[in-house]
Amino acid sequence: MSNIKAIRRKTTAIERLLRVALYLVLISVAAIYLLPFIVMLITSLKDVEEIRTGTLLSLPASLHFDSWSKAWSSACTGSTCDGISPFFLNSFQIVIPAVIISTVLGAINGYVISMWKFRGSDLFFAALLIGCFIPFQVILLPMARTLGWLGIANTTTGLVFVHVVYGVAFTTLFFRNFYQSVPGELVKAARLDGAGFFTIFYRIILPISTPIIVVTVIWQFTQIWNDFLFGVAFSGFDTQPVTVALNNLVNTSFGGKEYNVDMAAAIMAALPTLIVYVLAGKYFVRGLTAGAVKG
């Protein structure tokens, strides 16, 4: 008995050491991953002189928040702005409707392709799948001509249209793969009870789609908010998203380069996506494991 207890104690001690070692490795990896953000935050809290004379990881001698207020400034002269605040609203005006529309269209497309087969449905899905792999640069010229023909060039409406068109292929793929795991007998039984296309979708399919809706919303929000190419190609000065405004701020300087202002602006521009992932990250993982990558 004493030998068994000794072996158990040794096993427990080894397990604790392994657990401690695992946590140390995870903390180290997290620290390395967060190092760029830490550098940005430290730099944003220094004044310009301290940035020039100090080291990259040195803590600020005193906290300076002037760079944050300047980065957020809404003062605009001509075709330049001192801050990014005027363009935050533009990004939200683009992201919110584009995410909603592309999610709804993706849900309906995925529902039709997976549960209401029609002649050419597989070909339609293959075309959408090919759309996921078309490079952004390929569609710049035809999309610019289309926006001009529709009369929505250089507007937030035009950018919403672009992101919906490009994003609906991804959302359809997500929903289609998720709905493949839904029993077909469920839809057949509803048909026998007299339920129609939209009744089945609204009362049966949509209530069980919460996991994949969360995945799609997070995916689309992140892609659209962080987009730069479409924003710089299809927007005017008054309709630029925050990513384009950030680029203009970083590449425009009068006198000396203010790295603290650039870092503060970059952090503020990234905050919405960070908040979305912090609040809904676990639901994103659950949605993926619930069927978003099956089928």
pLDDT in tens, 101-153: 999 999 998 888 888 777 877 788 888 778 778 888 888 888 999 999 999 98
Write out pLDDT tens, residues 188-240: 888 887 778 788 888 888 888 888 898 899 989 999 999 999 999 998 888 89
Three-state secondary-structure class, residue 7: helix
Give the count of beta carbons closer than 10 Å to the beta carbon of residue 125: 19
**Residue 291 backbone zone (phi > 0: left; psi -120 to 50: alpha; other: beta):** left
Q: What is the pLDDT of residue 1?
A: 56
In whole angstroms, give the CA distance from residue 93 to residue 249.
21
* 1-23: b (≥16 Cβ within 10 Å) or e: eeeeeeeeeeeeeeeeeeeeeee
In whole angstroms, give the CA distance from residue 98 to residue 219.
12
In the predicted structure, residue 164 carries a pLDDT above the cut 90: yes
In whole angstroms, give the CA distance from residue 280 to residue 170.
19
Specify the range with the lowest mean pLDDT, choosing from 73-82, 133-142, 280-289.
73-82
Q: What is the pTM of this model?
A: 0.82
8 Å CB contact between 116 and 197: yes
All structural domains of the chain with their residue ranges: 2-67, 76-292
In whole angstroms, give the CA distance from residue 101 to residue 168.
9
In whole angstroms, give the CA distance from residue 209 to residue 249.
41
**Which is the CATH superfamily of the domain at 76-292?**
MetI-like (1.10.3720.10)
In the predicted structure, residue 54 carries a pLDDT above the cut 90: no
